[in-house]
Amino acid sequence: MARALYIHWPFCLKKCPYCDFNSHVRDSVDAAQWQAALVADMRHEAQVAGGEPLESIFFGGGTPSLMPPQVVEALLAEAERLWGFAPDIEITLEGNPSSVEAGNYAALASAGVNRVSLGLQSLDDAALQFLGRLHSAAEGLAALDVAQRNFRRVSFDLIYALPGQSAKAWEAELARAIALGTGHLSLYQLTIEPGTKFATMVRERQFEPLDENAAADMFAMTRSMTAAFGLPAYEVSNHAKPGERSRHNLAYWQYRDTLGIGPGAHGRRLAEATVRHRKPENWLEAVARNGHGIAESRRLCRNEMASEALLMGLRLTEGVDLADLEARLGVPQHDLCDTDRLAFYERQGLAWQRGSRIGVTELGVTLLDGLLGALVPDALFDEDAPA
């Protein structure tokens, strides 16, 4: 059953120093070659997965707003031919807020994109320079204005807890961001990911990350402010007005079937995990050779799916419905939850249970990584027969 389709465009104009996504800089890109290869990869998924009409499509990257609008239009037309679209399908495209890319927004909207997610990352020029961004704050705001005039639904990202950033400065920036009026905000603490330029810079002591306690205080303030202004958190870092939650991301967090095509894309469908070749050139060669870009495909056992579903679902403020997981995955509720351990964390004010649904409290979210390891039963990490 195909619910969501992810399409990866791996190219960027510049590699940001904090980014560990599968993004690459190339002098030129043959758009026709890439369109043909993505269509081939998509057709393979349709042959294998089939399924119901798509509820969401997400163009991620990389920088998908660099895609020629005619390529986006062709890919959407092929996806609709292969699966059909749900009447209210959500079609999101990620983009950087440069003036060049903003110039494509009208054409992208005409091609069928109805939601954009912009990587503003900061409303401060000094912070943008530190983050290695190519746009200025003014250019970002101008692109946001163009996006809001062309798309019904708009989201943008900000990164906070930067080195030396004060709580007062973040509070002022967040208030300004909320006032811009979008229905969705993705607000991420700066994380130093292995293999990034920032990781090297920290190792060489070129800068020191913000103190963990200060970052935690900013996190709490972020959730409080967004809730007060009608954009409460529905996931650890994602905040939305009613009806504006990202349906595509919810497909991952609610552990629904997702198809992934393009370099490095991951998929979960029909109790099988797929991973595409990561390097663009290797992916193109695989598509030409095999008709698809899959580097690895393996069956998922029931326990593995259950543990993944819990790890993803407990990130949501709505938590996880154990009865639903039992019905979908065939794992009994008593195997999905250690009731004694859950009761202990309930008494600590870190977790909750309402009927068959369990979740993490506001206090628990601040300790989420450790709490997830405690709440997901150890037995689910043991191997069992494939589903």
232-252 pLDDT tens trace: 999 999 999 999 999 999 999
Same structural domain, 245 and 323: no
pLDDT band at 183; cut points 50, 70, 90: very high
Question: 359: which residues sit within 8 A by CB, 6+ positions away?
Answer: 314, 316, 317, 318, 319, 320, 351, 352, 353
- In the numeric block, which tokens belong to residue 66? 């660099």
- In the numeric block, which tokens belong to residue 35? 């369109």
pLDDT computed for residue 386 by the predictor = 47
Mean pLDDT calculated for residue range 38-48: 97
pLDDT band at 2; cut points 50, 70, 90: low
Residue 137 lies in a domain: yes
**Rounded CA Rg of the chain:** 21
Same structural domain, 219 and 339: no
Domain encompassing residue 50: 4-252
pLDDT band at 385; cut points 50, 70, 90: very low
Mean pLDDT calculated for residue range 364-376: 92
Residue where a domain stops, chosen among 204, 227, 252: 252
Same structural domain, 225 and 358: no
Same structural domain, 203 and 67: yes
Backbone angles phi, psi at 73, to 5 degrees: -60, -40
pLDDT band at 383; cut points 50, 70, 90: low
Domain count, the chain: 2
Residue 91 lies in a domain: yes
pLDDT computed for residue 51 by the predictor = 77
How many angstroms separate the CA atoms of 177 and 179, rounded? Answer: 5
Residue 304 lies in a domain: no
Residue where a domain stops, chosen among 234, 252, 270: 252
Same structural domain, 118 and 248: yes
- CATH number of the structural domain spanning residue 370: 1.10.10
Same structural domain, 221 and 328: no
Same structural domain, 323 and 230: no
Label the pairing between strands 357-360 and 351-354. antiparallel
How many angstroms separate the CA atoms of 251 and 58, rounded? Answer: 11
Residue 264 lies in a domain: no
Residue 233 lies in a domain: yes
CB 79 within 8 Å of CB 35: no
pLDDT > 70 fraction of the chain, expressed in percent and rounded: 97
How many angstroms separate the CA atoms of 362 and 349, rounded? Answer: 9
pLDDT at 142 over 50: yes
Residue 267 lies in a domain: no
Mean pLDDT calculated for residue range 129-158: 95
Return the residue matching tokens 């495909």.
297
Same structural domain, 235 and 344: no
Residue where a domain stops, chosen among 252, 269, 298: 252
Average confidence score pLDDT of the chain: 94
Same structural domain, 243 and 336: no
- CATH number of the structural domain spanning residue 214: 3.20.20.70
> Lowest-confidence range among 23-27, 91-95, 101-105, 289-293?
101-105
CB 151 within 8 Å of CB 109: yes
Residue 300 lies in a domain: no
pLDDT > 90 fraction of the chain, expressed in percent and rounded: 91
CB atoms within 10 A of CB 311: 17
Residue 243 lies in a domain: yes
Higher pLDDT, 381 or 355: 355
- Residue 126, classified by CB atoms within 10 Å of its CB into exposed (0-12), middle (13-18) or buried (19+), is exposed
Classify residue 133 as left (phi > 0), alpha (psi -120 to 50) or beta: beta
pLDDT digits (tens, 9 = 90+) for 268-288: 999 999 999 999 999 999 999
pLDDT digits (tens, 9 = 90+) for 200-221: 999 999 999 999 999 999 999 9
Starting at the edge strand found earlier in the chain, the sheet holding 351-354 runs: 320-321, 357-360, 351-354
Same structural domain, 347 and 213: no
pLDDT digits (tens, 9 = 90+) for 275-333: 999 999 999 999 999 999 999 999 999 999 999 999 999 999 999 999 999 999 999 99
Same structural domain, 206 and 321: no
Same structural domain, 49 and 154: yes
CB 271 within 8 Å of CB 305: yes
pLDDT band at 50; cut points 50, 70, 90: confident
> Lowest-confidence range among 166-170, 275-279, 374-378?
374-378
DSSP 65: G
